[in-house]
């Protein structure tokens, strides 16, 4: 009977240690991991590069890449640190302009500048506080 009790006691201790170790390990990872933020903004296509109705729209005539699901990339010193996509385009001015929102989650904090690229178009640099509050990009005339 003594042996059964000691085996049960050892098993209970090991079980508690495994649970405790697992919990504190994940807490440590969370506490010591880098802080992140959500980069957000809008891309507006204006003029003859827009097609759609008063509600839903997308790019057109040279702006065909401006559509829901198009890639938005955030990079630091040429290294990609986050990828998101354009949300559905909306128009509130009869189809003259088309506005797409985007969010890129889990972008690491603490860098001086972040480059934002939408599809294959050039990059524009922003500071962290600008990306947190939301940037506005525009294409067309």
Q: Is the pLDDT of residue 85 over 80?
A: yes
Question: In angstroms, rounded to a whole number, what is the distance separating the alpha carbons of residues 17 and 20?
Answer: 5
Which residue intervals of 1-141 are DSSP H helices? 2-32, 128-133
Question: In angstroms, rounded to a whole number, what is the distance separating the alpha carbons of residues 89 and 116?
Answer: 19
Q: Is there a contact between 105 and 97 (Cβ–Cβ < 8 Å)?
A: no
Give residue-wise pLDDT tens across range 13-30. Answer: 333 334 444 444 433 344
Q: Is there a contact between 73 and 88 (Cβ–Cβ < 8 Å)?
A: no
Mean pLDDT of 85-91: 95
Q: In degrees to the nearest 10, what's the CA dihedral of 62, 64, 67, 73?
A: -70
- This prediction has a pTM of 0.73
Give residue-wise pLDDT tens across range 95-119. Answer: 789 999 999 999 999 999 999 999 9
The residue whose two tokens read 């759609």 is 52
Nearest Cα neighbor of 80 from 34, 30, 117 is: 117
């Amino acid at each position: 009977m003594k042996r059964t009790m000691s085996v049960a006691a050892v098993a209970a201790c090991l079980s508690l240690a495994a649970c405790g170790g697992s919990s504190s390990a994940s807490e440590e990872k969370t506490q010591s991991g880098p802080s992140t933020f959500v980069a957000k903004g809008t891309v507006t296509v204006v003029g003859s590069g827009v097609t759609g109705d008063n509600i839903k729209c997308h790019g057109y005539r040279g702006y065909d890449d401006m559509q829901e699901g198009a890639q938005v990339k955030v990079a630091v010193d040429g290294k990609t640190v986050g990828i998101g996509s354009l949300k559905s385009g909306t128009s509130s001015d009869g189809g003259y302009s088309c506005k797409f929102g985007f969010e890129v989650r889990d972008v690491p904090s603490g860098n001086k500048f972040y480059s934002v690229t939408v599809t294959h178009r050039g990059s524009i640099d922003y500071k962290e506080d600008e990306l947190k509050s939301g940037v506005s990009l525009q294409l067309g005339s």
